[in-house]
Amino acid sequence: MAGVDPVLVRGWLAARSLSRDLPAPVDDHGGWRVDTGGTIERRRYLFATPGPGLTTLLGSIDAPGIFVKLCADAATFRALLPPGWTITDANCMMVPDRPVAAAPVLPMDYRLSVTRRGAVMHAVITTDDGAAAASGYAAQHDGIFVYDRIVVGDAHRRRGLGRALMLALGAQADPAARQVLTATQMGAALYATLGWRVYAPYTTATIG
């Protein structure tokens, strides 16, 4: 997709890998590969734009468990896929347009804490009795600050907890860092209220 910065996309993948204790991405077929080693996802590839390397890679994969991700909409990616491939997710990558700088505010019966391990931050919101209500991660690497796994429990939605997580994590970012995240349609609606905009589509495909 024209206008997608490969430096930002690779930086997102590198910081996400750091957040999840995964290997650093390596260059592969004109994109980047992370050997995730999971039972469902053994390996992932990410491409900022389509190209011959992506086409070659898709033609070489003949087993499930390998996920290929492209900064393009589902229709564009689907047209490139060989038989047997399926689009599993059509999400988006977002960047801040007019970031909201404010202290997180919680309902009276919730508590928020942020811990840091090296370049990885972990925010947790609990109820007064210690039950988990929401959590999220962030990581910074090579000037890219990434938000990851922002989750609010079903019983605690619509109380401003997602917003509080984002503000608490964002306060840990280097002011000069470029911020980026990926979001589902539901998540994108929340982030838009915090001054984020869609930067690029982000679509995933695998065999199956």
pLDDT in tens, 178-193: 999 999 988 898 899 8
User: Pairing mode, if any, of strands 120-127 and 43-47?
Assistant: unpaired
Does the pLDDT at position 1 exceed 50?
no
Question: Cα(187)–Cα(131) distance, rounded to whole angstroms?
Answer: 23
Q: Name the pTM for this structure.
A: 0.93
In the three-class reduction of DSSP (H, G, I as helix; E, B as strand; rest coil), residue 19 is classed as helix
**Nearby residues of 150 by Cβ (< 8 Å), 6 or more positions away:** 134, 136, 162, 165, 166, 181, 187
CA separation, residue 51 to residues 48, 66, 91, 111, 200 (Å): 10, 19, 21, 48, 17
Q: What angle do CA 52, 56, 58 make, to 5 degrees?
A: 115
Q: Which two tokens stand for residue 98?
A: 């007019």
Q: What domains, with CATH codes, occur in the chain? A: 6-94+203-207 (no CATH), 110-195 (3.40.630.30)
HSE of 112 in the Cβ direction (CA atoms, 13 Å)? Answer: 23
pLDDT at 48 over 90: yes
Q: In the predicted model, what is the mean pLDDT of residues 137-145?
A: 97
pLDDT tens digits, 86-121: 999 999 999 998 766 778 889 999 999 999 999 999
